């Protein structure tokens, strides 16, 4: 079994620009981020012998584009948390000796849609037969479907779900790269345009272009790189169902309940050890589900926890400190950007740096609660 | 029983597969067909020729009651082909246990009218000659 801190992140970077990047196609967003991450680590393409990225037949396209000769590839695509799974798989592969230096990339032309992945209708799939006929149209109509049940079960209010967006905008205001930086109030959120009741525009993620890349190697080699190593302490993953209507429990994600505790147990940490946290926020309810399913709050308490400013600047559990998918950026698969912010916080280089981050927990969700991946990172090798 | 509001054109049309054929035959004949495991009695949806709880291939198709309660929903406010906004995309919990996505007809598409746990009944609504969708409407008193 892999031990905490045996693998480290030695290179990390986002694409040169994020937001609206009409000068780059999707594959170039991958490449731009990969080149930046290689520069960050002081590496050349010939140093890389493992590659992970999302997409059917895409690892070979990208390997060729970047001039890589991988001896290990992973094309796992389970939505926006795929990169958390790539980190977990890459750590295992390096540990097993399948490869020494893994590049994980993300690029998505979510806004400009240049060479973007088409999303074909599949009328013979189970979703195509048993969800599509009832009018869902993209994540804003599907991801929030469990929310009213969660609200009724625990007495969660619209104000609590608005506060998620308010707090994250406070973090974004401290980050020059964030797309949305002007302060907002609970009233602003509740007066913004209705998208899919109960959620309004400011409770839905942005749609942007961008990319990111990570480079992992064994901790034994990690001290030879220009950047301070960020150690992988523990990881977890799981999947549930691509059909949100078939989730076991509308007030909790089974995939979260598997991935999160698996990562924390592997890292050998307790909740009190976590200095900084990222919870993938495609929509405003996800941080609440994450806080509860990972055991940082009791059932039904996460809304109160956020209202009490525990996750805000100066709070005891700084959360989504880049501004999140709601205010920083969201290309479609935001998980890579959550990982990048955890790396920055552990390195001590984040724009809204939390003082003294030793342990950061980064928790991702994939497609409408269908998948989850968690990565615990640390500044020191245990 | 009044006919539900006719469906607008453009709604995505499901294409049955060998494993789901019985479900779509059922809705066309006015039956909401579920499956029950002969070994462990689990009732499940969506259709498949084995039990997701115990993996037995001995399963039976049966006609469900058509009674359900409103489990959760969103009300979509943007224009989508085949739909007039605002419209609710709902998940109902069938009396037999499984949940399914559907639309709620004969009911204002508002949070005030769409109350969680309200009783519902199936309203079979033809999409075309091949496909009939199991929509739901507020239960009509004791007759439901």
Q: How many residues does chain A have?
A: 382
pLDDT at A56 over 50: yes
What ipTM score was computed for the predicted complex, to two decimals? 0.95
Least CB-CB distance to B14: which of A133, A199, A246? A133
Full residue range of the structural domain in which residue A219 is found: 7-115+206-378
- Return the percentage of chain A with pLDDT > 70, whole number: 100
CB contact at 8 A, A78 and A86: no
The residues spanned by each domain of chain B are: 21-143
Q: Residue A241: closest CA among chain B residues belongs to which residue?
A: B46
Residues of A with CB under 8 A from a CB of B: 121, 123-124, 126, 128-137, 140-142, 144-149, 152, 193-199, 243-246, 250
CB contact at 8 A, B119 and B139: yes
What domain count does chain A have?
1
Please indicate if any CB of chain A lies within 8 Å of the CB of B90. Answer: yes
Closest approach of chain B CAs to the CA of A245, in angstroms?
Answer: 6
pLDDT at B3 over 50: no
* Residue at A242 is within a domain: yes
- The pTM of this model reads 0.96
Q: What is the DSSP string of A25-93?
A: -HHHHHHHHHHHHHHHHT--GGG--EEE--STTHHHHHHHHHT---SEEE----STTHHHHHHHHHHHH
pLDDT at A69 over 90: yes
From A309, A330, A342, select the one nearest A167 (Cα to Cα).
A309
A371 band by pLDDT with thresholds 50, 70 and 90: very high
- Retrieve residue B19's tokens: 């494993």
Per the listing, tokens 């959620």 go with: A199
Instruction: Mark yes or no for CB contact A129/B14 under 8 Å.
Output: yes
B6 band by pLDDT with thresholds 50, 70 and 90: low
* Residue at A158 is within a domain: no
Q: Which of B4, B11, B12 is the mutation pick for testing A, counting most A CBs within 10 A? A: B12
Tell the CATH topology of B21-143. Answer: OB fold (Dihydrolipoamide Acetyltransferase, E2P) (2.40.50)
The mean per-residue pLDDT over the stretch A286-313 comes to 98
The CATH number assigned to the domain holding A242 equals 3.40.47.10
């Amino acid at each position: 079994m892999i031990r905490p801190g045996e693998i480290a992140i030695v290179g990390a970077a986002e694409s040169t620009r994020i937001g609206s990047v009409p000068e780059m196609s999707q594959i170039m967003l991958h490449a731009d981020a990969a080149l930046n991450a290689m520069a960050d680590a002081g590496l050349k393409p010939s140093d890389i012998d493992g590659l992970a990225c999302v997409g059917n037949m895409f690892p070979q396209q990208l390997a060729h584009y970047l001039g890589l000769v991988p001896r290990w590839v992973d094309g796992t695509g389970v939505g926006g948390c795929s990169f958390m799974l790539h980190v977990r798989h890459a750590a295992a592969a390096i540990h097993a000796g399948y490869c020494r230096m893994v590049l994980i990339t993300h690029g998505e032309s979510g806004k400009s849609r240049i060479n973007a992945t088409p999303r074909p209708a599949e009328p013979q799939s189970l979703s195509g037969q048993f969800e599509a006929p009832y009018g869902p149209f993209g994540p804003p109509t599907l991801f929030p479907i469990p929310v009213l049940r969660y609200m009724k079960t625990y007495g969660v209010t619209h104000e609590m779900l608005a506060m998620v967006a308010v707090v994250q905008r406070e973090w974004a205001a401290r980050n020059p790269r964030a797309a949305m930086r002007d302060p907002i109030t609970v009233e602003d959120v509740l007066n913004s345009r209705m998208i899919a009741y109960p959620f309004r525009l400011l409770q839905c993620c942005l749609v942007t272009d961008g990319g990111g890349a990570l480079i992992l190697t064994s901790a034994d080699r990690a001290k030879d790189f220009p950047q301070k190593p960020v150690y992988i302490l523990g990881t977890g993953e799981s999947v549930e169902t691509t059909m949100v209507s078939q989730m076991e429990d509308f007030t909790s994600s089974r995939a979260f309940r598997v991935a999160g505790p698996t990562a924390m147990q592997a890292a050998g940490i307790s909740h009190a050890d976590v200095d900084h946290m990222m919870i993938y926020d495609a929509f405003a309810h996800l941080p609440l589900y994450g806080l509860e399913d990972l055991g940082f709050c009791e059932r039904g308490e996460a809304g109160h926890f956020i209202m009490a400013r525990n996750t805000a600047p100066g709070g005891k559990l700084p959360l989504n400190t880049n501004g999140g998918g709601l205010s920083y950026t969201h290309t479609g698969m935001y998980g890579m950007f959550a990982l990048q912010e955890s790396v920055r916080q552990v390195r001590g280089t984040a724009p809204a740096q939390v003082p003294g981050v030793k342990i950061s927990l980064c928790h991702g969700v994939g497609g409408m609660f269908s998948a989850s991946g968690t990565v615990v990172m640390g500044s020191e090798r245990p | 029983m009044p006919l539900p509001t006719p469906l607008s054109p453009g709604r995505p049309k499901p294409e049955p597969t060998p494993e789901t054929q019985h479900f779509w035959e059922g809705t066309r004949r006015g039956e909401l067909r579920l499956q029950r495991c002969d070994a462990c009695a689990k009732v499940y949806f969506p259709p498949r020729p084995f039990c997701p709880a115990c993996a037995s291939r001995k399963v039976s198709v049966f006609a469900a009651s058509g009674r359900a309660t409103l489990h959760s929903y969103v009300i979509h406010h943007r224009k989508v082909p085949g739909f007039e906004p605002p419209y609710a995309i709902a998940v109902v919990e069938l009396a037999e246990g499984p949940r399914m996505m559907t639309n709620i007809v004969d009911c204002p598409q508002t949070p005030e009218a769409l109350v969680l746990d309200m009783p519902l009944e199936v309203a079979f609504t033809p999409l075309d000659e091949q496909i009939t969708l199991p929509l739901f409407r507020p239960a009509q008193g004791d007759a439901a």
